[in-house]
Amino acid sequence: MKKDSEDKRPVGVVVVTHTDYGAALLRAAECILGPASHAATISVDVSLPVEQTIDQLRQALKDVDQGAGALIMTDMFGGTPTNLSLSLLGERQVEVITGVNLPMLIKGLSARTLPLAQLAEDAKAAGLSGIVVAGQMLKSRTDKKAAGGERA
Amino acid sequence: MTWVRIDNRLIHGQVIETWLPFTGARTIMVFNDDLAEDEMRQDIMSLAIPNGVDIQFLPLRSASSAWGAKSAKAGAKAAEGGEALILFATCQDARRAYESGLLFDLLNVGNLHFEPGKRQVCPHVALTNEDEGCLDFFTGKGVRLDFRCVPGDPTLVRSYK
């Protein structure tokens, strides 16, 4: 029984971004999913000492990690929030995924009983598939339908 | 699980990201007269539906027959179950469907947004007198009302009185 409940512990989620983009994104995700537990955001202010931000991030990871690890979502590969996050990879069970958007965060928050590595893969897939040129997609569907109609 | 919901936005993020996984429904049936005749809006609403989920836009007059056909099909393939997410935009539409024979015992009153003249009963639901009469009709029929906006909300059914 104990093992079961251990398996179901949620992966923690920390969104690390330039300024408070992450906090706004988490509010948006909570508007859709309802309140999220074991989730935190870090606003990286590049005018502050790096060590101060890393300490905040360390504390946030400690707060959200329930034993199943934590997934850090950052705004941009190559940016400071990502670089700071990557520096913590060796310290605890953490994965870093870059380019956070709302579909990615929603997936990350709603499938958190998956193992960390799987959750990171699924969140990436959701983030990618959430990016569409909608007008084009709609047009190709309408065209297909019209073609189907002619055949019929 | 078959889940009947009133939501004035019909298909949107909360429905796709929370109610669809919560119910496990593989079919979404939207009963709405305006939408049933508007292919452009149907296409737009269908864009974000996950693969493998079937979506139907149907006029209210077909509620009973469409539901009957769906249930019969599910009955024939019992393993697939009869899971469906049924959506109405208004209390009145849900009542018309119920009176025509689409029966259910639980009605999820999800989103009915505030407009002048409506009374706010919880953050996501505001009712006119007509809406209240409609919900009275359902409670009179023994239908339980569930005022959750998203599945994670407290399951306690709030009173609208």
Q: Which tokens in the block code for residue B145?
A: 């009302």
Identify residue B59 by its one-letter amino acid code. P
B51 touches chain A (CB under 8 A): no
Q: Which residue, chain included where needed, has tokens 């690390």? A: A16
pLDDT in the model for residue B75: 58
Mean pLDDT of B106-126: 90
Taking only the tens place, the pLDDT of each residue in A83-103 is 999 999 989 999 999 999 999
B1 pLDDT more than 80: no
Per-residue pLDDT of chain A (152 residues; tens, 9 = 90+): 344 444 579 999 999 999 999 999 999 999 999 999 999 999 999 888 899 999 999 999 999 999 999 999 999 999 999 999 999 998 999 999 999 999 999 999 999 999 999 999 999 999 999 999 988 888 888 788 788 755 44
CB A98 within 8 A of CB A77: yes
From chain A, pick out residues whose CB is under 8 angstroms from the CB of B149: 34
Task: With a cut of 70, say whether residue B77 has pLDDT above it.
Answer: no
CA distance B17 to chain A (A): 7
Min Cα separation B141/chain A (Å): 31
B18 touches chain A (CB under 8 A): yes
Q: Rounded to a whole number, what is the distance in Å from the CA of A27 to chain B's nearest CA? A: 14
Cβ–Cβ of A32/B18 closer than 8 Å? yes
Q: What's the whole-model pTM score?
A: 0.81
Residues of B in contact with A142 (CB under 8 A): 43
Rg over CA atoms, chain B: 15
CA B94 to chain centre: 8
CA pair distance B32, B11, nearest whole angstrom? 12
- Chain A contact present for B33, CB below 8 A: no
For residue A34, give the chain B residue with the closest CA: B152
**Amino acid symbol at B94:** A
pLDDT per residue over B117-127, tens digit each? Answer: 899 888 889 99
Tell me the pLDDT tens digit for each residue of A128-145: 999 999 888 888 887 887
Tokens of B105: 């015992």
Please list the alpha-helical segments (H only) found in B55-128.
Answer: 63-76, 91-100
Query: CB contact, 8 Å: B115 with chain A?
Result: no
The structure tokens listed for A9 are 């512990």
Nearest CA in chain A to B16: A32
Judge: A32–B47 Cβ closer than 8 Å, yes or no. Answer: no
Decide which of B70 and B23 is more confident.
B23
Q: Which residues of A1-36 are buried (b: 16+ CB within 10 A; e: fewer)?
A: eeeeeeeeebbbbbbbbbeebbeebbeebbebbbeb
Contact B13 A32 (CB under 8 A): yes
Taking contacts as CB-CB distances below 8 angstroms, the residues of chain A near B49 are none
Closest CA to A101 of A137, A77, A135, A131: A131
- Residue A39: strand pairing partners: A13
Mutation target among B12, B16, B43, B147 for the A interface, most CBs of A within 10 A: B43
Contact A138 B43 (CB under 8 A): yes
